[in-house]
């Protein structure tokens, strides 16, 4: 059995479309987001991939995406563990604000720092470093043991919770990971060596 870890950011959400800071708020997927999730599932199916277990956050956009992917794999009802540890970075007081309006109100540079610095949290929210501090222990204790047991593990989560995970997996610095943008509904398939290092990485983009 090959240790396989599939990471997928949820499909486009209603608030992605409206350009609102989302964080722990819970909008659903748009039609496009639903279509992206189906496409993600079809691409994984085309690889001949079957999941043994899935993990997702407690937010509906990630759960819905994961469910759609499993449906495309012919695996409706597969054991799926939902945990708050995989939630999007909490955007605090910015949650619900329009990203362009926030730039006008707080300045382009400040908003960029809140969105793409590693350790500066937005007011009342989490930095990427704070997000990593909850995502990584969950990965190490709950997800990685499943992968290293030779299973194929699907993780349906969020732009920033997945960034935190990718940073650790790929051994990136805080500076490197904040430059990495994750598209909605694009699965990344990692095959891992027995020592947990990456044997191969494949991004299933159109
Ligand atoms: O929570 C959000 O608003 C998005 O999912 C991610 O936002 P970002 O692109 O500002 O990191």
The answer to the question of residue 2 being in a domain is: no
- Cα(189) to centroid(ligand 1), Å: 22
Ligand 1 near 114 CB (within 6 A): no
Pocket test for ligand 1, best of 14, 15, 61, 89 (most atoms within 8 A of CB): 89
What is the number of domains present in the chain?
A: 1
Residue 145 sits in which domain range?
8-203
* Model pLDDT for residues 103-153, shown as the tens digit of each residue: 999 999 999 999 999 999 999 999 999 999 999 999 999 999 999 999 999
The complex scores an ipTM of 0.95
* Model pLDDT for residues 8-33, shown as the tens digit of each residue: 999 999 999 999 999 999 999 999 99
The answer to the question of residue 38 being in a domain is: yes
Q: What is this structure's pTM?
A: 0.97
Q: Which residues, other chains included, contact 23 with Cβ-Cβ below 8 Å and sequence gap of 6+? A: 88, 89, 90, 91, 92, 94, 95, 125
The answer to the question of residue 158 being in a domain is: yes
The answer to the question of residue 1 being in a domain is: no
């Amino acid at each position: 059995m090959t240790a396989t870890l599939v990471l997928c950011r949820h499909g486009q959400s209603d608030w992605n479309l409206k350009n609102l800071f989302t964080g722990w708020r819970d909008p659903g997927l748009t039609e496009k987001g639903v279509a992206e999730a189906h496409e993600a599932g079809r691409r994984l199916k085309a690889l001949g991939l079957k999941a043994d277990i899935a993990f997702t956050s407690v937010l509906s956009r990630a759960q819905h995406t994961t469910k759609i992917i499993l449906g495309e794999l012919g695996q409706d009802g597969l054991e799926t563990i939902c945990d708050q540890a995989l939630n999007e970075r909490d955007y605090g007081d910015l949650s619900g604000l329009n990203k362009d309006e926030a730039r006008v109100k707080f300045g382009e540079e400040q908003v960029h720092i809140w969105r793409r610095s590693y350790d500066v949290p937005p007011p009342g929210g989490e930095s990427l470093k704070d997000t990593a501090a909850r995502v990584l222990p969950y990965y190490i204790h709950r997800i990685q043991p499943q992968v290293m047991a030779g299973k194929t593990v699907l993780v349906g989560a969020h732009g920033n919770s997945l960034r935190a995970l990718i940073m650790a997996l790929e051994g990136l610095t805080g500076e490197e990971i904040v430059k990495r943008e994750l598209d909605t509904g694009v699965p990344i398939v990692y095959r891992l060596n027995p020592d947990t290092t990456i044997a191969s990485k494949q991004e299933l983009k159109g």
